[in-house]
Amino acid sequence: MTSWVGRTAAEIAAAVREKRATPHEVVAEHLARIERLEGRVGAFRRLRGDAALAEADQVANRADLSELPLAGVPVAVKDNLAVRGESTRIGSAATPDTPADHDHVTVARLRAAGAVVVGLTNVPELCVFGTTDGVHGTARNPWDTTRTAGGSSGGSAAAVAAGMVPIALGNDGMGSLRIPAANCGLVTIKPGHGTIPAGISDGDWFGMSENGPLATTVEDARLMFEVLADHRDARARQPATRRIALSLRSPLLGVGVSRPYADAARDAAALLTRAGHDVRPAEPPYPWWLGTTSLAHWTAGTAVDAEGLDPRRLTRRTRVHATVGRRLVKSVRSGARREQLRRRMEPFFAAHDVLLTPALARRGPAAAPWHERGWLLNLLANTNYSPMTPPWNLTGWPAMAVPFGTLPNGAPCAVQLVGRPGSELELLDVAGQLETLRPWRRTAPLG
């Protein structure tokens, strides 16, 4: 009997379209793996076992089965996006346990493409922090379960890296796709503003938050991206020579990049040079005020999301974060600093097609009850390991995390690719070359 666990979304969908597999058997196999591994990984807040199997049978009976790009593919959804019939808890005890009466547009697009939602994944409270732990569970890195999966799409990343699902849906407001993807050895792309519908919380963190895919291959990331963007690019894409800037410097003053992550970016640059790209060291003109601007937007977004929730049911780190941000909402809404940053970066991206950086500054923190610890400790832990991602939410430009190399403990390392507006497919092309030239192990060896 063929096992569909560990296969890519593209392989599963092709088999279902060609009647070599049924959606029911594919989903059942993945549910069995979730049941076996979930106690060690903590990926899911809510598993939809019977409902998912019923939906799989509905997919099998669709008249357009042979045309569905994600036919029968199990998918996990981050628990800040509405799934019809399920509550959206956003990692908090303060949110209502009320079932949604409709799917978020991205969930609807995945289902229209034939995907089956098997569950909702764990997130930190209000999706604020880069560690996924809280009242609904702790998401661990399947490659090293003593470490966090990252955040805030940590549960979605853990589910994919553990082979519980081939793809998952997450979102990114300050790195919340790229951070867990880098921790867990996955491919992700945070699209540029307006490419994929957002609709995340109240105002999408002032337009900085974007929905996107988590996958084990560039092919799957591209496939899911095209479904979410409602745009299929059927053109044959020829490798193109890109002007690629290599930067190893942290955008935030006082935060350094550890040697494994710097070495990974250097090695990726050397590989792309040998592939024919014009790769040169070049530093983006990060302003001195980038750190304070990032903190202002991060806290102000939380302040908006916390409005109307009972503060007594929020954790201490969330309450303090929101309190700090409450005074900054008005200035952040003006968008002045974001526009200033875009203008500052535009000449750099006129001279370079792609920016290549380390994805993180160091490995993720321990899988621990960070939600029970103080705000300042959380702030320092997050900032010191993930300073590379926030600038590209502030600009609203596309950015990817791509597995590349390994850390000393054998867990995956990763690099970040950044491009100008509208360059999502070009970034995916470069990521695909890295994958071809230096393939990575797709799922963690959990057994």
Positions marked catalytic: 78, 152, 176
150/132 Cα distance (integer angstroms): 6
Question: What is the torsional sign of CA 123, 188, 391, 291?
Answer: positive
SS (H, E, C) the chain: CCCCCCCCHHHHHHHHHCCCCCHHHHHHHHHHHHHHHHHHHCCEEEECHHHHHHHHHHHHCCCCHHHCCCCCCEEEEECCCCCECCCCCCCCCCCCCCCECCCCHHHHHHHHCCCEEEEEECCCHHHCCCCCEECCEECEECCEEEEECCCCCHHHHHHHHCCCCCEEEEEECCCCCHHHHHHHCCEEEECCCCCCCCCCCCCHHHHCCEEEEEECCHHHHHHHHHHHHCCCCCCCCCCCCCEEEECCCCCCCCCCCCHHHHHHHHHHHHHHHHCCCEEEECCCCCCCCHHHHHHHHHHHHHHHHHCCCCHHHCCHHHHHHHHHHHCCHHHHHCCHHHHHHHHHHHHHHHHCCEEEEECCCCCCCECCCHHHCCHHHHHHHHHHHCCCCHHHHHHCCCEEEEEEEECCCCCEEEEEEEECCCCHHHHHHHHHHHHHHCCCCCCCCCC
Read off the tokens for 94: 């303060």
Paired sense of beta strands 74-78 and 167-172, if any: parallel
Surface-to-core class of residue 364, CB atoms within 10 Å of its CB (0-12 exposed, 13-18 middle, 19+ buried): buried
Extract the tokens encoding 69.
């790009």
What is the rounded distance in angstroms from the CA atom of residue 332 to the CA atom of residue 323? Answer: 15
State both tokens at 344: 């500052």
